Amino acid sequence: MIKNKLGITDSVLLAKEEEKISKKKALEMFDSGFLDNLEPGKFVSLATIHKYLFEEIYDFAGQMRDVNIAKGNFRFAPVMYLKPSLDNIDAMPQSSFEEIIEKYVEMNIAHPFREGNGRSTRIWLDLMLKKELRVVIDWSKVDKEDYLMAMERSPIKDIEIKYVLKKALTSDVDNREIYMKGIDHSYYYEGYNTFEIAKLK
């Protein structure tokens, strides 16, 4: 159970509150034009997104983790190599779809935060695609299992995740509906599906 600002000790209740609060913040980011002022492809922009989403919930929002973390059998970048790893990712090229997805895969391997990596990094990915190529991913067209399996294999071979995401590209980059459905889907990948973003007030 991760310590939180809400004083919640029940993990199910925390997950619900986290989903509700951070989905509202995700929509706020879009509606206010906040995302348009961020530099695409930089860790500082990802940290800013993460802080915006989770600052009402966690003290560590927007801060690089100081513990080692793993998912299943996969260990993300060790803390001692995290900063150099993020510096390398910052320097990676991002002028084509392939380069952008490679950068995204590397950021996923780095997993710089204690919690909320996937949700904030998918927004960061779309920001890169939008600014560099004038496309975004319509996440509602990306099957959960296909995505999760492709991401799991991506550190070894990224051809699969490139294929899965390329099929879901849209040039309708300013469509609020696509963005909202995308946030709901992004949360669904992580097991958060209690609230629909469109119905949150």
3-state secondary structure 61-130: CCCCCCCCCEECCEECCCHHHHHHHHHHHHHCCCCCHHHHHHHHHHHHHHCCCCCCHHHHHHHHHHHHHH
Q: Please choose, from the candidates 26, 185, 181, 168, the residue with its C-alpha nearest in 3D space to the C-alpha of residue 97.
A: 168
The alpha carbon of 170 is separated from its chain's Cα centroid by a whole number of angstroms, namely 18
pLDDT confidence of residue 165: 98
Domain 11-195 fold is: Fic-like fold (1.10.3290)
Tell me whether residue 12 is exposed, middle or buried, using C-beta atoms within 10 angstroms of its C-beta: 0 to 12, 13 to 18, 19 or more.
exposed
Q: Return the domain boundaries, the chain.
A: 11-195
C-beta atoms surrounding 15 within 10 Å: 15
In this model, does residue 39 exceed pLDDT 90?
A: yes
Burial 120-152 (b: 16+ CB within 10 A, else e): bbbbbbbbbbbbbbebbbbbbbbeeeebeebbb
pLDDT confidence of residue 47: 98
Tokens representing residue 62 in the block: 């927007």
Average pLDDT over residues 113-129: 97
Type of residue at 18: E
* Model confidence pLDDT, tens digit, residues 69-112: 988 888 899 999 999 999 999 999 999 999 999 999 999 999 99
Q: Please choose, from the candidates 52, 29, 23, the residue with its C-alpha nearest in 3D space to the C-alpha of residue 183.
A: 23
- pLDDT above 90 as % of the chain: 92
In this model, does residue 200 exceed pLDDT 90?
A: no
Burial 21-50 (b: 16+ CB within 10 A, else e): bbbbbbbebbeeeebeebebbbbebbbbbb
